[in-house]
Amino acid sequence: MEQSSQGVRRGGVGWALVITSVAGFMAALDNLVVTTALPSIRADLGGALEDLEWTVSAYTLTFAVLLMFGAALGDRFGRRRMFLVGLGIFSAASAAAALAPGMGELIAARAVQGVGAAILMPLTLTLLSAAVPPERRGMVFGIWGAVNGLAVAAGPLIGGSLTEHISWQWIFWVNVPLGLLLLPLARLRLAESRGPDPRLDAVGTVLASAGLFGIVYALVRGNADGWTSGPVLGGLLGGGVLLAAFVRHGARARNPILPMRLFRSRAFAAINAASLLMFLGMFGSIFLLSQFLQGVAGYSPTEAGLRMLPWTGMPMIVAPIAGFLSDRVGGRPVVAIGLALQALGLGWFAVVVEPGVSYAAQVPALIVSGIGMAMYFAPSANIVMGSVRPEEQGIASGANNALREVGGALGVATLAAVFSAQGGYESATRFVDGLTPALWVGAAAVAVGALAALLVPGRRAPGAAGSVPVAREALVDATP
């Protein structure tokens, strides 16, 4: 209770929401913001295709493999303190990326950016949860989710606009003033909190980080190096073995970084499976559709981003409403319907896409996808945070974000592999030949995610508990 009173004295829900949403936006934005700037970066700094790939994957790799460690650092040294450290690292690395004189320096700066993002991102949700009463979390998480979802989806638009109208360096410079503004605000307006056990799980951290690194590295490099190449097979097999050892460690250790007993909660297990599949389908589809709009439809990076706004802009409108609904009817139906709509939108796109398709024919698929994505974000965050004990929310947030990032890397790799097997860049027809089956794979993945979301426990009998979110009731399942 002391934690909540400190949060109110320091600025309450409003300041916590603004600070954590803007910080989360910065970290989420850098997942895809660089994609539309790659031609300009290559023209300016040179480098081979492999170098360009690493400007994207260096961030994804460090972000994914260190997310749970970032949450553990917050529990050990203080969540606000480590949030400030992560924000400082991210902002400094953004400046280094903008000033990079060559591809090697840019790739290194991107990797350090990922380290900073991995520290601050899981702590945004933990700090916000500490400042918000349980009965208001649905709507507040809805706004937080809308901002983060918009950042992920609008990355190509923002990156393309800055590159086209100013320079590619500004996709990184934009983070610096935001970071400098947030640092004093976070110090003054956020309450400090820690996890119940201050010890760090070094063994679990190494196993999880090395295992995820091996698998994500293999997914990123699979198409370029070949899925049967030594490094790729080594990454998949070695990463799988290390993650199996991590699961065993989490089940047996006294204070593991991720207690496997959390997955006894049907809500926690189901929503994490749904999150991984959602990001698999969404990330892979955005990666290919942004190229379709530029390479086949002939739009500039900015024009392509603007034409995706019926999809990317929808979270700002729908996600807060979805959060409000989740407080009234529970998170399960909202998330499941949202994922079903996202799958329907991707399937719709796969049906209508062709070299000469009009933009008007694409709009319904974009709108349906946007509504579905928005309905997923807010309730899913509420379910994750409500399915574990309050003192375990930092680890739960880190695990969920790590699985999302792994799902995103898997989605880009999987859908790109399907695209390469069925089509290519030789002509508009060949591009569509590869894009269509890839979109069907993405739609199928999200549809399976909708089925997983149905496994989240439903609401209890109405009455006194009628205003309690489903996610909070799932705490029963998380208790040993």
**Mean local confidence (pLDDT), 271-298:** 84
The per-residue pLDDT for 480 is 34
- Cα–Cα dist 129/186, whole Å: 15
Q: Is pLDDT above 90 for 112?
A: yes
Q: How confident is the model at residue 198 (pLDDT cuts 50, 70, 90)?
A: low
Q: How confident is the model at residue 278 (pLDDT cuts 50, 70, 90)?
A: very high
The per-residue pLDDT for 371 is 87
**Mean local confidence (pLDDT), 275-302:** 82
Q: What is the pLDDT of residues 173-186, one digit of tens each?
A: 988 988 898 888 88
**Mean local confidence (pLDDT), 52-61:** 75
Q: Is pLDDT above 80 for 40?
A: no
Q: How confident is the model at residue 197 (pLDDT cuts 50, 70, 90)?
A: low
**pTM given for the model:** 0.74
Mean per-residue pLDDT of the chain: 78
Nearest to 240 by CA among 201, 208, 270, 206: 208
Q: Is pLDDT above 90 for 290?
A: no
Q: Is pLDDT above 90 for 277?
A: yes
Q: Is pLDDT above 70 for 48?
A: no
Q: Is pLDDT above 50 for 213?
A: yes
Q: Is pLDDT above 60 for 138?
A: yes
Q: Is pLDDT above 70 for 467?
A: no
Q: How confident is the model at residue 465 (pLDDT cuts 50, 70, 90)?
A: very low
- Cα–Cα dist 280/277, whole Å: 5
The per-residue pLDDT for 8 is 38
Q: Is pLDDT above 60 for 294?
A: yes
**Mean local confidence (pLDDT), 372-393:** 76
- Cα–Cα dist 142/366, whole Å: 20
CA 63 to chain centre: 10
The per-residue pLDDT for 22 is 82
Q: What is the pLDDT of residues 389-430, one digit of tens each?
A: 776 776 777 777 777 877 877 787 788 778 877 887 778 888
Residues 6+ apart with CB under 8 A from 437: 350, 418, 419, 422
Q: How confident is the model at residue 53 (pLDDT cuts 50, 70, 90)?
A: low
**Residue 198 φ then ψ, to 5°:** -75, -5
Q: Is pLDDT above 50 for 133?
A: yes
Mean pLDDT is lowest, of 95-99, 164-168, 180-184, for 164-168
- Cα–Cα dist 438/421, whole Å: 10
- Cα–Cα dist 103/311, whole Å: 33
Q: Is pLDDT above 70 for 137?
A: no
Q: How many CB atoms lie within 10 A of CB 221?
A: 20
Q: Among the ranges 18-22, 213-217, 338-342, which has the highest mean pLDDT value?
A: 338-342
- Cα–Cα dist 14/106, whole Å: 36
Q: Among the ranges 167-171, 238-242, 386-390, 475-479, which has the highest mean pLDDT value?
A: 238-242
Q: Is pLDDT above 70 for 193?
A: yes
The per-residue pLDDT for 47 is 66
| CA angle, 386 then 389 then 392, to 5° | 105
